[in-house]
A and B are shown apart, each in its own frame.
Chain A
Amino acid sequence: MTSGGIEDEEKWLAEGIAGLQHNAFYMHRALDSNNLKDALKYSAQMLSELRTSRLSPHKYYDLYMRAFDELRKLEMFFKEEARRGCSIIDLYELVQHAGNILPRLYLLCTVGSVYIKSKEAPAKDVLKDLVEMCRGIQHPLRGLFLRSYLSQVSRDKLPDIGSEYEGDADTVMDAVEFVLQNFTEMNKLWVRMQQQGPAREKEKREKERSELRDLVGKNLHVLSQIEGVDLDMYKDTVLPRVLEQVVNCKDELAQYYLMDCIIQVFPDEYHLQTLETLLGACPQLQPTVDIKTVLSQLMERLSNYAASSAEVLPEFLQVEAFTKLSNAIGKVIEAQVDMPVVGAVTLYVSLLTFTLRVHPDRLDYVDQVLGACVKKLSGKARIEDAKATKQIVALLSAPLEKYNDIVTALNLSNYPLVMDHLDNATNKVMAVVIIQSIMKNNTYISTDDKVEALFQLIKGLIKDLDGSLVEELDEEDFKEEQNSVARLIHMLHNDDPEEMLKIICTVRKHILTGGPKRLPFTVPPLIFSALKLIRQLQGQDGDVVGEDVPATPKKIFQLLNQTIEALSSVPSPELALRLYLQCAEAANDCDLEPVAYEFFTQAFILYEEEIADSKAQVTAIHLIIGTLQRMNVFGVENRDTLTHKATGYSAKLLKKPDQCKAVYACSHLFWVDDQDGVKDGERVLLCLKRALRIANAAQQMANVTRGSSGPVTLFVEILNKYLYFFEKGNPQITSAAIQGLIELITNEMQSDTTTDPFADAFFASSLRYIQFQKQKGGGMGEKYESIKV
């Protein structure tokens, strides 16, 4: 069509409207003056405008609506005439004299409406006559609108149950017959439109047909509104007749639209009860019909129906809805060999949604759906299509969301099989979805076999899957991924120690396949999980003698040792050191001296050989000292060895101030408050004196390098340590020594060229503290008496 076409159409429409309005004007004049003859003449002329072939459906509709409005006035006039005594039968006959058939039939329908209302003849007779007469118009567009008009004017005059038009002769069956016939004829006209015109304009025709579809569909709507159409009538008459037309018309557009229409327009209970019939029509449709969307619509409606009230659920079971739908889908997928994967999966997603709504307790049904999907996917390579992937993720997420309990999903044998068909990236995404579901619902997984099943599902996160050697994953994303695995580990728990140990072993087995990049994330939570178990076992004293109980602290410590060792492959010495120290403390609490000693040995080895960074060394040595200070399980020899090492390394730190602090920290190794055994006053003093020497050396260095003395803070710290042990009653710490220190510091500060406000404040508050203690009175006051500030 040339671009001038649209303009032409506008012109023709305008002409049509003008003609219509022109004749309408004269018709009104005739109506006003009760001139029946002229009224008929001008109305016929007016209706002639509808004889045009030049308008597209959209524009024709415009013209039709105007005619419709005018015919209402005419109808009212006819009613008045009948009231005034004019014979309606005569009128019915009179209008048939109109020259052209189309106006004739419009007028006939209009009179027919009044005729039925007058009840001078049974409604069914008039209706039958009209619906047959309309056959006179075989032109698709004009015919459709004509019959649409018939449908509109007859709407409220059908002999329905309880309507005024019901009688001995007229039954609901007649109403149904009428509508069915009109529907059938309209569909035929509509389908015929497809054949009109040249092949190259097929798309345009389809678009135009689309615009008209509601005219055809309206009939189904009318049928659904007829009160008398109960389930039986629907089952026996309405549905079979409608489906017959749908199948026989062999038109893709019509079939798709009408199937959808049926589903939308009739009640869900009817669909349930006629499921077999409805589904039986599906394989008979044209192969190009998008039957999967139709089925999806149906299942969605039924799902919503099921969700609306619990009372309808037994009905679903009674009609075996699941089986029927499942079979129908199977048949469709089998029949349409070329159906793309995404289509099949979408169908299964709809079926799964249906199943989860209607039969949530039937895990076997759910598994069946997944199994059918696996079957369809099997033999194919990993899915690459994004849409199909999306649908598979939806398929897998649905049970998670429904059950809120991963353990239920873990019972679905086909679940992991479906996951296997995802490409690596999506597999991981799905694994994260699973973990998130667990975290969100606070689900605990408490048996070893379920843990194993879970780790099989999320294996994409646990290790590098084959084919994905160097996955260019963003570092942040990788961290987030692994941290979610770490958090997951805390959700795996059972109060029974035997079972818990099994769980720990299973988790360990899996995370050790993760490689150096993953171990720093996954090892710590496992270690702490195991430490918690050890603590739990500590509480239970009953080691049944003679029984080889696997869950003993000793065995678990062995496991821990081997697991922390794995961090050397990363390498992660600082983390490993911290974990060894944690284990040492736990071994201490279990009274296992050799085990604790072994852990300390490992920690020291790491310190010596792997931790070179000076800042890291400072932290590490303080952790060692802090942990060692709390140990009470060591005998004298072991304790001495470890203490000696700790103090030795403290003195060897790179920076002098760091040395000083670490050494005076070591003083606490020789004095532990709650153990009368470890209160070696002399060695405490030795430590503090050594710290003083180092502080002095630091001062001298500062002098040399900066030309001024360094801060006296170190001295004030050491002073505070003196006070600490003084108060604890270490006899080696004398008030004289303290006094000496105070004076030393005071001198240093006075001779200092630069003032350090922090050191000043520290010293001031330390002196204030001494003052405070003096004023306390009692034993403390006595102690401090000889110290002058």
Chain B
Amino acid sequence: MVLVLALGDLHIPHRAPDLPAKFKSMLVPGKIQHIICTGNLCIKQEVHDYLKSLCPDMHVTRGEYDEDARYPETKTLTIGQFKLGLCHGHQVIPWGDLDSLAMLQRQLDVDILVTGHTHQFKAYKHEGGVVINPGSATGAYSSITYDVNPSFVLMDIDALRVVVYVYELIDGEVKVDKIDFKKTATAHSAH
């Protein structure tokens, strides 16, 4: 059982002052094995360092407002049996378009693609795998999505199965939902 925290688009301090208190109290160091962050933190010291304190294995890709311009455009990593791809998503036009994102997924050759930019949570399965958008962890303003609720995703990866838990802060209460995905054992990856 490997826990992966996926979050992004915090936009601190441009669009939000901080993570919601209820989220902060849930995110405790030592419980999570990996963090993948879609980007737009924005400030290094506060947010990047805070996330690193939760878990040292942290991966970030560049959002268009990130202070640190050296984050990569895309990243791939393997966790257990799954190959994960990470990209902020402003590079994929049209923004939020699932077919275009599927193309990126094929290009990175990953089972799970995690992107952001739209600030709207999505978990979508297609023949090539799963596309996940953890939304905005702070509920930051978005020109694309109205009424953004703060959200983040926790993935529990266990052999060929991943359970995606989405945590959303709606009207002051944290609501959790979960979605199951199974990877078919056929060797997709061209090794």
Does B15 touch A at the CB level, under 8 Å? yes
Q: Which of B101-109, B149-157, B171-179 contacts A (4 or more CB under 8 A)?
A: B101-109
Q: With A and B bound together, what is the CA distance between A589 and B144 in angstroms?
A: 10
- Which of B11, B16, B143 has the most chain A CB atoms closer than 10 A to its own CB? B143
Of all chain B residues, the one with the shortest Cβ separation from A721 is: B103
Does B60 touch A at the CB level, under 8 Å? no
Q: Which chain B residues in 1-24 approach chain A with CB under 8 Å?
A: 11-18, 21
B106 near A762 with CB under 8 A, answer yes
A532 neighbours in B (Cβ, 8 Å): 141
Of all chain A residues, the one with the shortest Cβ separation from B106 is: A765
A491 near B95 with CB under 8 A, answer no
> Quick one: CB contact mask for B91-120 with A, threshold 8 Å, 1 for yes?
101110001101100110100000000000
Within the complex, what minimum Cβ distance (angstroms) separates B169 from chain A? Answer: 14
Q: Which of A589, A619, A668 contacts B93 (CB 8 A)?
A: A668
> Quick one: CB contact mask for B159-184 with A, threshold 8 Å, 1 for yes?
00000000000000000000000000
> Quick one: CB contact mask for A425-450 with B, threshold 8 Å, 1 for yes?
00000000000000100100000000
Q: Which of A153-161, A364-372, A399-407, A620-628 contacts B (4 or more CB under 8 A)?
A: A620-628
Within the complex, what minimum Cβ distance (angstroms) separates B142 from chain A? Answer: 9
Does B90 touch A at the CB level, under 8 Å? yes
A490 near B17 with CB under 8 A, answer yes
> Quick one: CB contact mask for B61-81 with A, threshold 8 Å, 1 for yes?
000110000000000000000
State which size class the interface on B falls in. Answer: 35 or more
A525 near B103 with CB under 8 A, answer no
A622 neighbours in B (Cβ, 8 Å): 90-91, 93
A630 near B144 with CB under 8 A, answer yes
Q: Which chain A residues in 701-751 approach chain B with CB under 8 Å?
A: 713, 716-717, 720-721, 724, 727
Of all chain B residues, the one with the shortest Cβ separation from A438 is: B17
- Interface of chain A, helix or strand or loop or mixed? helix
B143 neighbours in A (Cβ, 8 Å): 531, 582, 585-586, 589, 627
Q: Which chain A residues in 40-56 approach chain B with CB under 8 Å?
A: none
Does B43 touch A at the CB level, under 8 Å? yes
B13 near A716 with CB under 8 A, answer no
Q: Which of A191-199, A344-352, A480-488 contacts B (4 or more CB under 8 A)?
A: A480-488
B100 neighbours in A (Cβ, 8 Å): 724
Q: Which of B15, B128, B146 contacts A525 (CB 8 A)?
A: B15
B14 neighbours in A (Cβ, 8 Å): 486, 524-525, 528
A487 near B93 with CB under 8 A, answer no
Does B57 touch A at the CB level, under 8 Å? no
B65 neighbours in A (Cβ, 8 Å): 524, 578
B46 neighbours in A (Cβ, 8 Å): 483
Q: How many residues of A contact B (CB 8 A)?
A: 54
Does A476 touch B at the CB level, under 8 Å? yes
Q: Which of A476, A525, A627, A757 contacts B45 (CB 8 A)?
A: A476
Q: Which chain B residues in 36-89 approach chain A with CB under 8 Å?
A: 43, 45-46, 64-65
> Quick one: CB contact mask for A471-497 with B, threshold 8 Å, 1 for yes?
000001001100110111011000000
> Quick one: CB contact mask for A449-480 with B, threshold 8 Å, 1 for yes?
00000000000000000000000000010011
B13 near A490 with CB under 8 A, answer yes
Of all chain B residues, the one with the shortest Cβ separation from A765 is: B106
A439 near B94 with CB under 8 A, answer no
The 6 tightest CB contacts between A and B, nearest first, are A486-B13, A585-B143, A487-B17, A765-B106, A524-B14, A761-B109
Chain B positions near chain A (C-beta within 8 angstroms)? 11-18, 21, 43, 45-46, 64-65, 90-91, 93-95, 99-100, 102-103, 106-107, 109, 127-128, 141, 143-144, 146, 188-190
Chain A positions near chain B (C-beta within 8 angstroms)? 439, 442, 476, 479-480, 483-484, 486-488, 490-491, 521, 524-525, 528, 531-532, 535, 578, 582, 585-586, 589, 619, 622-623, 625-627, 629-630, 665, 668, 672-673, 713, 716-717, 720-721, 724, 727, 757-758, 760-762, 764-766, 768-769, 772
A-B contact pairs, 19 of them (CB 8 A): A442-B21, A483-B43, A486-B13, A487-B12, A488-B17, A490-B13, A491-B17, A524-B15, A528-B14, A532-B141, A622-B90, A626-B90, A630-B144, A668-B93, A673-B94, A717-B103, A762-B107, A766-B106, A768-B188
Known: A490-B17, A761-B190. 14 other contacts (CB 8 A): A487-B13, A488-B17, A521-B13, A524-B15, A586-B143, A619-B64, A626-B90, A672-B94, A717-B107, A765-B106, A765-B188, A768-B128, A768-B188, A769-B127
